[in-house]
Amino acid sequence: MNALAATNRNFRHAARILGLDSKIEKSLLIPFREIKCTIPKDDGSLVSYVGFRVQHDNARGPMKGGIRYHPEVDPDEVNALAQLMTWKTAVADIPYGGAKGGIGCTPRELSMSELERLTRVFTQKIHDLIGIHTDIPAPDMGTNAQTMAWILDEYSKFHGHSPAVVTGKPLDLGGSLGRDAATGRGVVFATEALLAEHGMKIKDLTFVIQGFGNVGSWAARLIHERGGKVVAVSDITGAVTNPNGIDVPELIIHKEKTNSLVNFQGADGMDPNELLVHECDVLIPCALGGVLNRENAAGVRAKFIVEAANHPTDPEADEILSKKGVLILPDIYANAGGVTVSYFEWVQNIQGFMWDEEKVNKELQRYMTRAFYNIKSMCKSHDCSLRMGAFTLGVNRVARATLLRGWEA
């Protein structure tokens, strides 16, 4: 099942639980706006790229969402991620709606100057459709702070200095302290809230982490600092395991030096395909969607799954894992740390007053912990899973805002 079909399925289930009117249900599913543009490569060749910006909903505030550069960017994926961002911001109770963008390209095959030209042309196409109080892009897969700096600069040529138009910027251009670690740190705060509900602590448990990019490496580092035992890690280069616990800071150094996990002296190599079924207490997928499916779900040995990636568990796997008694902390909550600190960055830019990192992290913990208890309250009210608790919380908040604004059925 592709990401859009799975997201729509979860939404419709939440809508049925909430008893939403069929007309407002349909209205909440239809994107506010979709933007497509063909962007020629500026090197004399005939290659062109297709860019997308889907704006899903603005009932609760400006739309918010990342821009990804990836060869598999397509309308269904972007639509699904825009919709997920609508529910995610509502679950975190930050005043945004959802959007998502992307360009179908392979960033590593482009020079820095080609990436800059691509980004600037894309910004020229969408500059009148994004804005501080309209739609605020952020980095995603294949993009980074430098990409946001180019968007900010190009946008400012049309609209004047506007640091709040993007988040995830370099610190020198108004970025927030703590933003780089925010998604991984939010995953850890979410995990702590879940474990506390069961009388457990990170320091007493074992963890397996799939994906060792920004989110996975920060989650692993913070779990290690709290005394948790990370027993296996994988990324696109390979996988390593140590039943006594991996020295995460040393693994990060090794990855930075070699751009690979393989040949790390502090752990044994393993088949990356075995990682998701490796024995552990907590499994944290931090890579691509759909990695947990009907083929491997029955073999999962973790007691808890924390979805740091977007849509890592397809609906069939969800059912299998639920029957096994595995508790899944859903992506629209678990990985909301990034957009929450993006919100803090936006607030700082609008106020013209920057926070220290301690304040950023303290506020992030407060938002993540509060959201968890709001999800648990919905679970109790509707006798449903954590995933449906999160979806009903988010969908209900957006539906209420839509009705209060005067939407007519």
* Dihedral angle, C-alpha 19, 20, 26, 30, nearest 10 °: -110
Mean pLDDT over residues 332-340, rounded?
Answer: 96
pLDDT tens digits, one per residue of 30-86: 766 666 667 667 676 667 888 889 999 999 999 999 999 998 888 888 888 899 999
- pLDDT band at 28, cuts 50/70/90? confident
Does the structure show a pLDDT above 80 at 407? no
Mean pLDDT over residues 214-226, rounded?
Answer: 97
Mean pLDDT over residues 381-400, rounded?
Answer: 96
Q: Please name each of the domains of the chain with its CATH number.
A: 31-161 (3.40.50.10860), 181-333 (3.40.50.720)
* Dihedral angle, C-alpha 91, 97, 98, 102, nearest 10 °: -140
**Structure confidence at residue 298 (pLDDT):** 95
Binding residues for NAD(+) are 183, 214
**Structure confidence at residue 289 (pLDDT):** 83
Does the structure show a pLDDT above 90 at 143? yes
Mean pLDDT over residues 281-288, rounded?
Answer: 94
Phi, psi of 7 (to 5 degrees): -65, -45
Secondary structure E strands in 187-281:
206-210, 229-235, 238-241, 268-270
pLDDT tens digits, one per residue of 107-139: 988 889 889 999 998 999 999 999 999 999 999
Mean pLDDT score across all residues of the chain: 93
Which residues does the annotation mark as catalytic? 100
In the chain, the percentage of residues whose pLDDT exceeds 90 is: 78
* Dihedral angle, C-alpha 26, 27, 30, 31, nearest 10 °: -160
Q: How far apart are CA 18 and CA 304, in angstroms?
A: 27
